[in-house]
Amino acid sequence: MSIHVDGVSKRFGDFVALDDVSVDLPTGQLTALLGPSGGGKSTLLRIIAGLETADTGTVTIEGREATHLPPQKRNVGFVFQHYAAFKHMSVAKNVAFGLEIRHRPKTEVKKRVAELLELVHLDQFAHRLPSQLSGGQRQRMALARALAVEPSVLLLDEPFGALDAKVRKELREWLRRLHDEVHVTSVFVTHDQEEALEVADEIVVINEGRVEQVGTPDQLYDAPATDFVMGFLGPVTRLGGAQVRPHDIEVSTDPGQPGAVPGRVVRLLRVGFEVRLWVETAPSEEPVSVTVTRAHQRQLALGEGSAVWLSPTSDATRVDAVV
Amino acid sequence: MARAQAPLTRDPAPVRWGLRVVAVVYVVLLVAWPTYLVFENALKPGLGAMLDGLRDPDVAHAIDLTVTITVYAVLINLAFGLTVSLLLVRYDFPGKRLLSALLDVPLSVSPVVVGLALVLVYNGQDGWFGPTLERLGYQVIFSTPGIVMATVFVALPLVIREIVPVLEEIGDEQEQAARSLGANGVQTFWRVTLPGIKWAVVYGVVLALARSIGEFGAVKIVSGNVVGQSQTATLVVEETYQNFQQQTSYAVSALLALVAMVSLVVVAVLRPKEHKS
Contact yes or no for A88 and B195 at CB 8 A: yes
What count of other Cβ atoms lies within 10 Å of the Cβ of residue A120?
21
With beta carbons under 8 A apart, name residues in chain A contacting B187: 101
- Domain end position, chosen among A199, A229, A259: A229
Contact yes or no for A149 and B181 at CB 8 A: yes
Q: What pLDDT was estimated at residue B257?
A: 92
Statement to judge: residues A101 and A220 lie in one domain: yes
Residues A283-320: tens digit of each pLDDT:
888 889 999 999 888 888 888 888 899 888 877 787 77
Q: Which of A49, A72, A75 is facing B184, going by the closest CB pair?
A: A72
Q: Which of B173, B195, B198 is facing A82, going by the closest CB pair?
A: B173
CA–CA separation, B127 vs B148, rounded Å? 18
- Helix, strand, coil shares of chain A, percent, nearest 5, are 35, 30, 35
What count of other Cβ atoms lies within 10 Å of the Cβ of residue A225?
15
Q: What pLDDT was estimated at residue B130?
A: 78
- Domain end position, chosen among A179, A206, A229: A229
Chain A residue whose CA is closest to B173: A84
**Is A318 in a helix, a strand, or coil?**
strand
Residues A16-61: tens digit of each pLDDT:
999 999 999 988 899 999 999 888 999 999 999 999 999 999 999 9
ipTM: 0.81
pLDDT at B199 over 70: yes
Q: Which of A51, A72, A95 to mutate to test the interface with B (most CBs of B within 10 A)?
A: A72
Statement to judge: residues A18 and A138 lie in one domain: yes
CATH no. for residue A285?
Answer: 2.40.50.100
Average pLDDT on A191-201 reads: 91
Cut 0.90: pTM above it: no
Q: What pLDDT was estimated at residue A134?
A: 92
The fraction of chain A above a pLDDT of 70, given in percent, is 98
A70 lies within 8 A of chain B by CB? yes
* Beta carbons within 8 Å of B192's beta carbon, 6+ residues apart: A86, B174, B175, B177, B178, B183
Q: Which of B173, B180, B196 is facing A76, going by the closest CB pair?
A: B180
| CB A58, CB A230: distance < 8 Å | no
Contact yes or no for A84 and B177 at CB 8 A: yes
Enumerate the β-bridge partners of residue A238.
A243
Statement to judge: residues A215 and A268 lie in one domain: no
Residues A57-86: tens digit of each pLDDT:
999 998 889 999 999 899 899 999 999 999
Enumerate the β-bridge partners of residue A310.
A251, A261
Which domains are seen in chain B, by residue range? Answer: 1-43 (no CATH), 57-276 (1.10.3720.10)
Residues B42-55: tens digit of each pLDDT:
998 888 888 888 88
Q: Region of A319 please: left (phi>0), alpha (psi -120 to 50) or beta.
A: beta
Helices first, then strands: H and E counts in chain A: 9, 18
At A259, the pLDDT band (50, 70, 90 cuts) reads confident
With beta carbons under 8 A apart, name residues in chain A contacting B177: 78, 80, 84, 86, 142, 145
CA–CA separation, A120 vs B117, rounded Å? 63
A86 lies within 8 A of chain B by CB? yes
pLDDT at B2 over 50: no
| CB A82, CB A43: distance < 8 Å | no
With beta carbons under 8 A apart, name residues in chain A contacting B179: 50-51, 70-72
How near does any CA of chain A get to the CA of B264, in Å? 24
Average pLDDT on B179-195 reads: 93
CA–CA separation, A118 vs B177, rounded Å? 22
β-strands A76-79, A153-157 pairing: parallel
pLDDT at B1 over 60: no
User: For residue A300, which of A315, A290, A287, A285 has the smallest C-alpha distance?
Assistant: A290
Statement to judge: residues A167 and A243 lie in one domain: no
How near does any CA of chain A get to the CA of B203, in Å? 18
The fraction of chain B above a pLDDT of 90, given in percent, is 58
A49 lies within 8 A of chain B by CB? yes
pLDDT at A280 over 80: yes
pLDDT at B13 over 70: yes
Statement to judge: residues A282 and A164 lie in one domain: no
β-strands A185-190, A30-34 pairing: parallel
Q: What pLDDT was estimated at residue A227?
A: 87
Sign of the CA dihedral A155, A157, A162, A164?
Answer: positive
Q: Which of A78, A86, A129 is facing B180, going by the closest CB pair?
A: A78
**C-alpha to C-alpha distances, B25 to B12, B17, B18, B32, B260, nearest whole angstrom:** 20, 12, 11, 10, 23
A77 lies within 8 A of chain B by CB? yes
Q: What pLDDT was estimated at residue B276?
A: 41
Statement to judge: residues A80 and A188 lie in one domain: yes
Statement to judge: residues A282 and A225 lie in one domain: no
Q: Which of A75, A84, A145 is facing B173, going by the closest CB pair?
A: A84
Q: How far is CA A292 from the centre of its chain?
A: 27
- Domain end position, chosen among A229, A256, A287: A229
pLDDT at B8 over 60: no
How near does any CA of chain B get to the CA of A78, in Å? 6
Question: Residue A238 carries which DSSP code?
Answer: E
Q: What pLDDT was estimated at residue A166?
A: 86
Statement to judge: residues A34 and A94 lie in one domain: yes
Question: Residue A280 carries which DSSP code?
Answer: E
Statement to judge: residues A120 and A254 lie in one domain: no
Contact yes or no for B177 and A72 at CB 8 A: no
Q: How far is CA A216 from the centre of its chain?
A: 12
With beta carbons under 8 A apart, name residues in chain B contacting A78: 176-177, 180
Q: Which of B173, B183, B196 is facing A80, going by the closest CB pair?
A: B173
Contact yes or no for B182 and A149 at CB 8 A: yes
- What is the longest distance spanned by two Cα atoms in chain A? 78
pLDDT at B274 over 90: no
Residues A100-118: tens digit of each pLDDT:
999 999 999 999 999 999 9
Give the domain extent around A241: 237-320
At A323, the pLDDT band (50, 70, 90 cuts) reads very low
Enumerate the β-bridge partners of residue A153.
A76, A185
CATH no. for residue A97?
Answer: 3.40.50.300
With beta carbons under 8 A apart, name residues in chain B contacting A76: 180
With beta carbons under 8 A apart, name residues in chain B contacting A89: 195
Enumerate the β-bridge partners of residue A56.
A9
Total number of domains constituting chain A = 2
Q: What mean pLDDT is reported for chain A?
A: 90
Statement to judge: residues A60 and A43 lie in one domain: yes
Q: Torsion over CA of B216, B219, B223 and B226, rounded to 10 degrees?
A: -10
DSSP for A76-123, written as a single string: EEEE-TT----TTS-HHHHHHHHHHHTT--HHHHHHHHHHHHHHTT-G
Helices first, then strands: H and E counts in chain B: 16, 0
Statement to judge: residues A224 and A306 lie in one domain: no
The A residues from 108 to 147 touching B (CB cutoff 8 Å) are 129, 142, 145-146
Statement to judge: residues A252 and A170 lie in one domain: no
